[in-house]
Structure 1
Amino acid sequence: MKILEANVSALTNFEVLDFIRGKGASKDPTRVIAKVAMSEYKVYDYLVNTAAGCQTRENVKEYLTSIKQHELSEAEVLNVLNIRPAAEVELFHIIEDCTVRFPDEEIAEIVELVEKTLPAPSNKETSKEISEGEEETETEKHENVNEISQDQTEDGEQMDTS
């Protein structure tokens, strides 16, 4: 891929993910096959679990042509594409003065357009992590900190608990 003009416009999450995939990033557990930096793998791991992970070039093109009928700024169009709101209430923090600028019907149309043109992200890993209980709750974190602090004296030395 060759950069023709620098800083022409902002990139969508899909474009960044597509670029990193083009460099060879994948779910390869060894991560030694492609010449991809660790930071790029971290970006890949994040983006593949967002709405961008399910999008295709055709979806993005269809969305961009359809959304033109609504008077959104470039940043708002980009944010709607990246976040992929599934309900009207999610648009309120993406679109500035949403209720003032658009009637309720148009807000509903935007959500319908997003649902029609952009596939929903699959949160398989998120639901799997929660069901397996891999994530520590805040209570568990505080209990672990309390246990550590109880095992230490005031000057920071470990106490012999045996």
Structure 2
Amino acid sequence: MEILNPNLIPLSALETLELIRGIKAEQERTELEYEQQASSNEQPQQLPPQANTNLNQLVANFVEHFEDPNNHLPQGKQSPESILSLCESLRNRFGQVSGRSHGLTKAERLQICDLAPTELVEIYLIIEECDLRFSEDEIQEIMNLVKKNLLSERRTTTSAPSTANNHNASNTLNGDHQHQEQLEEILQEDSAFNLGDEDDDDALVAEAREGGPAPDQELDEVPD
């Protein structure tokens, strides 16, 4: 299998949710435009969209899962701006680029953004050897950063098919490239900074691209 684009980066749960919201809004906007053309007896400029029941149901279930307050997921209280602020704060304060040889890896920072841990037990489930790498005060500071970047009210997708709302929501898919680029820059390590110790996920990606460890290196010699 040929890798066409090896520079893909993992998306946070909020970015994925915003993408699905944009797809849903685009579907609703297209259907609304066709209904308006049909009601005004105008000749449709294009064929009506073919309903994909499976896709529509998948999108609806996905959005409902993340927005249902009974699921206690943090994405309803997050925004692109809050995720950007949290990710940047974690990277600069606790990441390996801050001068820590055992700082938070990219995978750990992404999990913190996705799970928004506000309890000590949650932090210990995310950060490997947490008590050895961080002091109690630093762990508390991480939780405070998470709480600081959670919104007070939940954000939900409006179900009213207004043209303005659909247009604004569909911009999530095509228009908010600035936040996307900023998040990509933050999730990528500074290439000019080298501690001689790669992130765990960096090592795994490099090994996968090279087809495994070097021939003269046994598997048990591969650094963790």
Instruction: Please give the TM-score of this superposition, normalised by the length of structure 2.
Output: 0.45
Q: How does 1:34-113 map to 2 (within 5 A)?
A: 36-49=55-68, 50-68=73-91, 69-70=93-94, 71-113=103-145
Q: Does the C-alpha gap of structure 1 residues 65 and 106 become closer, same or farther in structure 2, counting only changes over 3 Å?
A: same
Specify the alignment match of 1:17 in structure 2. Answer: 17
Structure 2 counterpart of 1:126: none
**Is the 1:12–1:82 contact (alpha carbons within 8 Å) kept by the matching residues of 2?**
yes
Task: From the two aligned structures, give the one with the greater helix fraction.
Answer: 2
Q: Which runs of 4+ in 1 moved over 4 A?
A: 32-36
Q: How many residues align?
A: 113
Aligned match of 2:213: none
Alpha carbon RMSD of aligned pairs, Å? 2.5
**Residues 78-103 of structure 1, C-alpha deviation per residue, up to 9 Å, x if partnerless?**
11111111122210001111111111
Given residue 104 of structure 1, which amino acid in structure 2 is its aligned partner? E
Where structure 2 has 5 or more consecutive residues not aligned to the other structure, the ranges are 33-50, 95-102, 155-224
Q: With a CA cutoff of 8 Å and minimum separation of 6, indicate the structure with the bigger relative contact order.
A: 2
Please list the CA deviations of residues 89-148 of structure 1 after superposition, one character each: whole Å capped at 9, or x if unmatched: 2100011111111111110010011111233685xxxxxxxxxxxxxxxxxxxxxxxxxx
Shift of 1:40: 2.0
Question: Is 93-102 or 111-120 further displaced after alignment?
Answer: 111-120
- The unaligned stretches of length 5 or more in structure 1 are 123-162
Contact map agreement 1:51 1:121 (CA 8 A) in 2: no
Judge conservation of contact 2:78–2:149 (CA < 8 Å) in 1.
no
Equivalent position SS for 1:24:
helix
2:67 and 2:76 in contact (8 A); partners too:
yes
